């Protein structure tokens, strides 16, 4: 199965800019379906980015983050060809991870 995570990490000078897009329903638990049944909450709670064995970014998310979430941040010290490990876990315990190359 293809990864749910799409990442673009580009280094410019000493700063690496990271953009990530994840496929996830991010159901809030307030929405009703066509039958009037509440769709249970289902959303990513934690998303981590690791570079060189160090966590460079940790996102804690609530259900108010949009469907198919997007996040952008930058960190110092990445180099071309380095690995960037990305991992998420949702409130149902599902996880996914991927490793991206910094370009």
Q: 75-88 burial string, b = 16+ CB within 10 Å, else e?
A: beebeeebebbbbb
- Cβ neighbours of residue 73 under 8 Å, at least 6 residues apart? 17, 18, 49, 57
Query: Does the footprint of another protein cover residue 79 (CB under 8 A)?
Result: no
Query: Does the footprint of another protein cover residue 83 (CB under 8 A)?
Result: no
In this structure, the number of other CB atoms found within 10 A of the CB of residue 4 comes to 17
State which of positions 25-44 bind another protein (CB under 8 A).
Answer: 26, 28-31, 40-41, 43
Nearer to another protein, 1 or 17 (CB): 17
Query: Does the footprint of another protein cover residue 58 (CB under 8 A)?
Result: yes
Tokens 């809030």 belong to: 28
Among 55, 95, 99, 103, binds another protein (CB under 8 A): 55
Binding residues (CB under 8 A) for another protein: these are 15, 26, 28-31, 40-41, 43, 45-46, 54-67, 69-77, 91
């Amino acid at each position: 199965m293809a990864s749910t995570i799409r990442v673009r990490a580009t280094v410019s000078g000493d700063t690496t800019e990271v953009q990530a897009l994840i496929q996830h329903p991010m159901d809030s638990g307030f929405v009703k379906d066509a039958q009037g049944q509440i769709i249970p909450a289902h959303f990513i709670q934690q998303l981590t980015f690791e570079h060189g064995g160090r966590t460079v970014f940790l996102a804690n998310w609530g259900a108010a983050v949009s469907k198919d979430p997007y996040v952008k941040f930058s960190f110092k010290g990445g180099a071309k060809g380095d690995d960037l490990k990305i991992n998420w876990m949702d409130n149902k315990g599902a996880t996914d991870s991927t490793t991206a190359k910094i370009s």
